[in-house]
Structure formats: structure tokens, C-alpha cells
Copies of this chain bind each other. A is one copy, B any other.
Amino acid sequence: MTDQKLRTILQEHGLKATYQRMAVLEYLVTHKTHPTAEMIHEDLSNISLATVYNTLDKLIETGLIIAIDIHDDGKRHFDYYGEPHYHVINQQTSEIIDADNFDMAPLFEAARKASGLTITGYHIEVYGVKSENP
């Protein structure tokens, strides 16, 4: 993804386009893993850990990324959320699989009915184990 595109995304979301923010955003856009702050900091070796955390907070506020808490390792994982999707988590391996093959509109409508709120988004994790008879 080009620097100009990253700059535009950040500015359209009301964020100053700093070198550090472009790097963190590009990292999340281009990695299919769901890294922790520490992993991002290790890979982007000239950006401080505090800035990684600050940037992740800003990107979450804009909705560009989400945080996923894997209770397995006590660390927060981050995920580019340009296209909303849900996660299937293998309980045996902690592998996180991205999936978007389900229309959440009916769930939104149910949630609106149940709460009276205007629904703005969702975080869905479905858990599974390796099939016995594949």
C-alpha cells in the first residue's frame, strides 16, 4: 500500500499522518496475522513501544482496527478492520481464522430490538476444535 494512500486514510479519519502511524497502519493492513503491540514494536524497530500503543488506541477510536483478547496468552491482539469480519478461533492451537461469509444484518436487528440502541458494530468470536471425522 502506497504512502499516499496511507496518508489519505489517516487524514480522512482525522489523524495526523505521521511516519509512525503510517507504518503501524501499513503493518496491520499487510499482515494477515493478529499481532500484539510487542510484535509490531519488534518488527518496526525504530518506533517506540509507547507510540505503538498510542497509535493502536487512535486507530481503534477511528474503527480502522479492532482489539481481540485471546485469554490464552494474556495479551491483546490487533486486527485491521477495513472490512468487518468475524473470527473463528481454534481452541487447540489458538489460531485465528478470518471469516466474512455471514450476513450480520439480522443479528443487528435482533440487537436493536433487545437493547433499543442504534447498532454501530460487532466483535464476534466463534470457537471450535479440529473435526474428528473430516
Stoichiometry, as copies per complex, reads 2
Flag whether A127 is at the interface (Cβ < 8 A): yes
Please tell me if the beta carbons of B110 and A128 are within 8 angstroms of each other in the complex.
Answer: no
- Measured CB to CB, the nearest residue on chain B to A100 is B114
Please tell me if the beta carbons of B111 and A88 are within 8 angstroms of each other in the complex.
Answer: yes
**Cα of A128 to Cα of B113 in the assembled complex, Å:** 12
Binds B, one of A29-37, A41-49, A117-125: A117-125
Classify chain A: how many residues form its interface, as a range: 35 or more
Residue of A91, A102, A111, A122 most packed against chain B (CB within 10 A): A111
- Measured CB to CB, the nearest residue on chain B to A99 is B114
Closest Cβ of chain B to A81, distance in Å, is: 12
Please tell me if the beta carbons of B116 and A134 are within 8 angstroms of each other in the complex.
Answer: yes
Q: Which residues of B contact A108 (CB under 8 A)?
A: 126
